[in-house]
Every structure is written in C-alpha cells, then in structure tokens.
C-alpha cells in the first residue's frame, strides 16, 4: 500500500497528491510515469511524476478528473492508501544542452512539464515555459514555473489572463516574432500536441511530444499502448512516452484513445449511480 501524505485540489477538477513511494522517488527522472491501481478491483492507470523528494521518499502526481478512476482517486485524502503503484516507467526525457528549449503544457501537463523544464535549465538551456488554460481560474503553478524558467508565458482561451490564444497560436506568435527555438517539448492534451507539432514542422523545429495512449501493463507486454511513429509500430510505455511529434500518426492515436468511450461512460454512470451520495 502507498500512503497519501498530502492532497490538494489545485483548481477545479485538477488535484495534487503526494504519495510515499521511496523506491520510485530514488530512481525517477524527468518525463517518467507510474501506473497506479487505487484498490484491489481498480483498473491500472498511468500518471506522470510531476515532482519528487528523494530524502522524504515521496513523489507528487497531478491528475485531472476525466473518468471513473480519476474521479474515485479525487475522493482519496491524506492518510488514505493507494493499493499499488509501479514505476518509474518509460524512457526519461533526453536532457542535454540544446540552446533555447520551449516547454509547453496544458491541463495536467502544466505540472508534468515542470521537472523537464527544471532539468533543461540546469543543463544550461534557455527555458521558455508556455502554459495554457481555458480560463484564468484553471491556471496553477505559475510561481513555481516562473522560478525555474527564464521566461514564463501564460495564455488563456477566453483571454481572462492575456494573451487570448491557445498554445499552437502562441508558438506561431513566437516564431513570427523571431524567437529561435531549438527544441519544443509538449505535454498535455493530444489535440494541443498535434497542433503544436503541425505548427513547428514547416520551420524544422525539433518537437518532442508526450503521448497519452491507453496503457495496461506499462511494460511492453500487452500491446495496448501501440502507436505509429515514422511508419513504425512503437509501444508508448517502453519506447516512449516521448516521441518526435512530426512523425506521430495522430489520427491513429486519437482513434485508439477513444476506442473504449462507450465502456468508460457506462462505467462512470454505474459508479455515480451507486455512489450518488458521495459525489
């Protein structure tokens, strides 16, 4: 069992949990994830490690409520325990001196991009972090990102925190403004990463994306997370989850991500009808 040491709702529907997991905290590196099962009958879901404290033996996860498991996890509190937690999984981000690295994040990606941005800065890069949310009230970790970046740009879809534009438009704005980008790393919803990749491609800007394909075992055995990159089949859990955004078959990824939508909706409806008094 993995004890939750702290729990916080950062903004509506996005939660932070700090979990005691000494073995994972010792080894985890930027860009890696864990697979958790919240109780003995729960499904396995992958979540990125957004921060860690090796001395305390604790990892921090930031997750968004999207379906049954994440809604149930949101009801856990400090002192509760998660049934199982496996990791660190996935190939860590390649950290090197590239020059100017733009780290973009939306939704839970705002937190997930943090260790990557920090490590890139420590490696001597100029780091520009760009985060987006639909509205100002959904933004979080601005101060933290400001501290570890050379520049932080915040965008909102409704303009409640200027400028009013989404990340791909912001990238285009930066390119048009003469910013020389050596590497762009994107973390967040699939559409944002797809559009960001399409924006950088004509300019030949190396673009790394973090694919959120559906995973089960997380160790390369079930094939559930398979993606097509540069015409080759890859398993996101062991070959990724980072890939060249210009080579990803986005349409295949999007269709595979929505492959279980009917079951997901039914699962949520069943759980909510049985637990209406808790929600």
Tell me the residue ranges of DSSP E strands in the chain.
2-11, 14-20, 33-37, 44-53, 58-64, 81-82, 84-89, 100-106, 126-133, 151-156, 183-187, 206-210, 226-229, 232-235, 242-244
- The reply on whether position 47 binds ligand FAD by CB under 6 A is yes
Q: How many CA atoms lie within 13 A of 233 on its CB side?
A: 5
- The reply on whether position 168 binds ligand FES by CB under 6 A is no
**What whole-number distance in Å separates Cα of residue 210 and Cα of residue 215?**
13
Which span sits near ligand FES by CB under 6 A: 141-149, 217-225, 245-253, 271-279? 217-225
Do 153 and 127 form a contact (C-beta atoms < 8 A)?
no
Q: Residue 68's binding partner, choosing from ligand FAD, ligand FES, none, with beta-carbon cut-off 5 to 8 A by kind?
A: ligand FAD
Q: How far is the CB of 43 from ligand FES (least distance, A)?
A: 12
- Which one, of 116, 117, 59, 63, lies nearest residue 88 by Cα? 59
By C-beta, is 233 or 258 nearer to ligand FAD?
258
Q: How far is the CB of 91 from ligand FAD (least distance, A)?
A: 11
- The reply on whether position 253 binds ligand FAD by CB under 6 A is no
**What whole-number distance in Å separates Cα of residue 157 and Cα of residue 166?**
6
- The reply on whether position 196 binds ligand FAD by CB under 6 A is no
- The reply on whether position 60 binds ligand FAD by CB under 6 A is no
Q: To which H or E segment does residue 72 belong?
A: helix 68-73
- The reply on whether position 257 binds ligand FAD by CB under 6 A is yes
Where on the chain is the footprint of ligand FES (CB under 6 A)?
A: 215-218, 220-225, 235, 237
Where on the chain is the footprint of ligand FAD (CB under 6 A)?
A: 33, 45-48, 62-64, 66-70, 108, 112, 212-215, 241, 257-258, 261, 264, 268
């Amino acid at each position: 069992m993995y004890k939750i040491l702290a729990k916080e709702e950062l903004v509506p529907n996005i939660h932070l949990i700090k979990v005691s997991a000494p073995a994972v905290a010792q080894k985890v590196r930027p860009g890696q994830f864990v697979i958790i099962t919240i109780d003995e009958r729960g499904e396995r879901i992958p979540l990125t490690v957004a921060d860690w404290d090796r001395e305390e033996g604790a990892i921090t996860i930031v997750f968004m409520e999207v379906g049954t498991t994440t809604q149930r996890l949101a009801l856990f509190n400090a002192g509760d325990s998660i049934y199982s937690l496996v990791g660190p999984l996935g190939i860590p981000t390649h950290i090197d001196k590239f020059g100017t690295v733009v780290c973009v994040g939306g939704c839970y990606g705002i937190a997930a991009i943090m260790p990557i941005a920090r490590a890139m800065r420590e490696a001597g890069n100029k780091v520009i972090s760009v985060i987006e949310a639909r509205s100002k009230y959904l933004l979080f970790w601005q101060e933290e990102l400001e501290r570890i970046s050379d520049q932080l740009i915040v965008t909102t879809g409704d303009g409640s925190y200027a400028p009013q534009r989404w990340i791909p438009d912001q990238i285009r704005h930066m390119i048009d403004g003469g910013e020389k980008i050596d590497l762009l790393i994107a973390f967040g919803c699939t559409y944002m990463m797809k559009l960001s990749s399409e924006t950088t491609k004509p300019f030949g800007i190396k673009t790394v994306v973090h694919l959120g394909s559906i995973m089960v075992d997380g160790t390369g055995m079930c094939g559930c997370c398979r993606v097509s990159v540069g015409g080759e089949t890859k398993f996101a859990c062991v070959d990724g989850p980072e890939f060249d955004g210009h080579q990803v078959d986005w349409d295949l990824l999007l269709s595979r991500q929505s492959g279980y939508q009917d079951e997901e909706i039914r699962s949520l409806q069943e759980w909510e009808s049985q637990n209406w008094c808790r929600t």
